[in-house]
Amino acid sequence: MKLEIKTKGHYDFIDITDKVRLLVEKSDIKDGAVLVFVPGSTASVTTMEYEEGIKKDLIKVFENIAPENADYEHHKKWGDRNGAAHIKSALMRTSLTVPVENGKLSLGTWQQIVLIDFDEKEREREITIKIVKE
Protein backbone atom coordinates (compact mmCIF):
# COMPACT_ATOMS: atom_id res chain seq x y z
CA MET A 1 0.00 0.00 0.00
CA LYS A 2 1.14 3.55 -0.66
CA LEU A 3 0.37 6.93 0.83
CA GLU A 4 1.00 10.02 -1.27
CA ILE A 5 2.06 12.96 0.90
CA LYS A 6 2.91 16.45 -0.37
CA THR A 7 5.61 18.08 1.76
CA LYS A 8 7.09 21.56 2.05
CA GLY A 9 10.64 20.57 3.05
CA HIS A 10 12.69 22.45 5.66
CA TYR A 11 11.38 20.55 8.69
CA ASP A 12 7.89 19.74 7.50
CA PHE A 13 6.36 17.54 10.23
CA ILE A 14 3.28 15.61 9.06
CA ASP A 15 1.20 13.43 11.37
CA ILE A 16 0.27 10.35 9.33
CA THR A 17 -1.13 8.31 12.23
CA ASP A 18 -4.76 8.44 11.11
CA LYS A 19 -3.85 7.43 7.55
CA VAL A 20 -1.86 4.43 8.80
CA ARG A 21 -4.58 3.55 11.32
CA LEU A 22 -7.21 3.54 8.56
CA LEU A 23 -5.12 1.17 6.42
CA VAL A 24 -4.68 -1.17 9.39
CA GLU A 25 -8.44 -1.13 10.08
CA LYS A 26 -9.25 -1.85 6.42
CA SER A 27 -6.81 -4.78 6.38
CA ASP A 28 -8.79 -6.80 8.96
CA ILE A 29 -5.54 -7.72 10.72
CA LYS A 30 -5.96 -8.85 14.33
CA ASP A 31 -2.34 -9.20 15.45
CA GLY A 32 0.92 -8.46 13.66
CA ALA A 33 2.82 -5.35 12.67
CA VAL A 34 2.76 -2.47 10.25
CA LEU A 35 5.91 -1.24 8.54
CA VAL A 36 6.00 2.42 7.49
CA PHE A 37 8.81 3.34 5.07
CA VAL A 38 9.72 6.55 3.25
CA PRO A 39 11.95 5.95 0.22
CA GLY A 40 14.68 8.49 -0.23
CA SER A 41 17.42 9.91 1.93
CA THR A 42 16.16 13.37 2.96
CA ALA A 43 13.13 12.45 5.10
CA SER A 44 12.35 10.19 8.02
CA VAL A 45 9.52 8.41 9.79
CA THR A 46 9.37 8.37 13.57
CA THR A 47 7.04 8.37 16.54
CA MET A 48 6.68 11.43 18.74
CA GLU A 49 4.17 13.56 20.53
CA TYR A 50 2.95 15.71 17.66
CA GLU A 51 2.79 19.16 19.23
CA GLU A 52 4.36 22.53 18.44
CA GLY A 53 6.75 22.66 21.41
CA ILE A 54 8.35 19.31 20.61
CA LYS A 55 8.60 20.21 16.92
CA LYS A 56 10.44 23.46 17.80
CA ASP A 57 12.69 21.61 20.25
CA LEU A 58 13.56 18.97 17.66
CA ILE A 59 14.40 21.64 15.09
CA LYS A 60 16.82 23.24 17.60
CA VAL A 61 18.47 19.86 18.21
CA PHE A 62 18.68 19.10 14.48
CA GLU A 63 20.20 22.52 13.79
CA ASN A 64 22.85 21.91 16.46
CA ILE A 65 23.74 18.56 14.92
CA ALA A 66 23.50 19.41 11.20
CA PRO A 67 22.66 23.06 10.45
CA GLU A 68 20.89 23.63 7.13
CA ASN A 69 23.23 26.48 6.16
CA ALA A 70 26.53 24.69 6.82
CA ASP A 71 28.91 23.82 3.99
CA TYR A 72 28.74 20.07 3.31
CA GLU A 73 30.92 17.98 1.02
CA HIS A 74 27.68 16.66 -0.47
CA HIS A 75 26.97 20.13 -1.90
CA LYS A 76 30.25 20.09 -3.82
CA LYS A 77 29.45 16.75 -5.44
CA TRP A 78 25.84 17.40 -6.49
CA GLY A 79 25.50 21.18 -6.57
CA ASP A 80 22.44 21.18 -4.31
CA ARG A 81 22.10 22.41 -0.73
CA ASN A 82 20.55 19.44 1.09
CA GLY A 83 23.57 17.86 2.80
CA ALA A 84 22.03 18.52 6.21
CA ALA A 85 18.81 16.78 5.11
CA HIS A 86 20.75 13.63 4.24
CA ILE A 87 22.51 13.59 7.62
CA LYS A 88 19.25 14.07 9.57
CA SER A 89 17.49 11.35 7.57
CA ALA A 90 20.35 8.92 8.20
CA LEU A 91 20.29 9.64 11.93
CA MET A 92 16.49 9.47 12.26
CA ARG A 93 15.96 6.52 9.90
CA THR A 94 13.51 6.01 7.07
CA SER A 95 11.34 3.22 8.45
CA LEU A 96 9.32 2.35 11.49
CA THR A 97 7.57 -0.81 12.66
CA VAL A 98 4.53 -0.58 14.94
CA PRO A 99 2.89 -3.62 16.55
CA VAL A 100 -0.78 -4.29 15.86
CA GLU A 101 -2.76 -5.88 18.68
CA ASN A 102 -6.47 -6.67 18.56
CA GLY A 103 -6.74 -4.80 15.25
CA LYS A 104 -5.26 -1.56 16.59
CA LEU A 105 -1.91 0.19 16.39
CA SER A 106 -0.05 -0.27 19.68
CA LEU A 107 0.89 3.36 20.18
CA GLY A 108 1.22 5.19 23.47
CA THR A 109 -1.35 7.77 24.53
CA TRP A 110 0.69 10.73 23.23
CA GLN A 111 2.51 8.89 20.44
CA GLN A 112 1.89 9.59 16.77
CA ILE A 113 3.51 8.37 13.55
CA VAL A 114 5.20 11.36 11.95
CA LEU A 115 6.85 11.96 8.59
CA ILE A 116 9.57 14.62 8.74
CA ASP A 117 10.80 16.10 5.48
CA PHE A 118 14.24 17.70 5.85
CA ASP A 119 14.82 18.47 2.15
CA GLU A 120 15.37 21.96 0.79
CA LYS A 121 12.24 21.99 -1.37
CA GLU A 122 8.69 20.74 -1.71
CA ARG A 123 8.35 17.06 -2.53
CA GLU A 124 5.77 14.44 -3.38
CA ARG A 125 6.58 11.68 -0.91
CA GLU A 126 5.34 8.15 -1.45
CA ILE A 127 5.12 6.28 1.83
CA THR A 128 5.14 2.48 1.62
CA ILE A 129 2.96 0.65 4.14
CA LYS A 130 3.31 -3.12 4.68
CA ILE A 131 0.96 -4.92 7.04
CA VAL A 132 2.17 -8.28 8.30
CA LYS A 133 -0.21 -10.65 10.05
CA GLU A 134 1.03 -12.76 12.92
Domain annotation for the chain: domains and CATH numbers: 2-133 (2.60.120.460)
- Per-residue model confidence (pLDDT) at position 71: 85
- The pTM assigned to this predicted structure is 0.93
The three-point CA angle 45-92-121 to 5° equals 70
Q: Please state, for a pLDDT cut of 70, what percent of the chain lies above it.
A: 100
Q: Please state, for a pLDDT cut of 90, what percent of the chain lies above it.
A: 86
The three-point CA angle 62-65-67 to 5° equals 75
pLDDT tens digit string along 26-56? 998 999 999 999 999 999 999 999 999 999 9
- Per-residue model confidence (pLDDT) at position 44: 97
**Residue 91 clears pLDDT 80, i.e. is over it:** yes
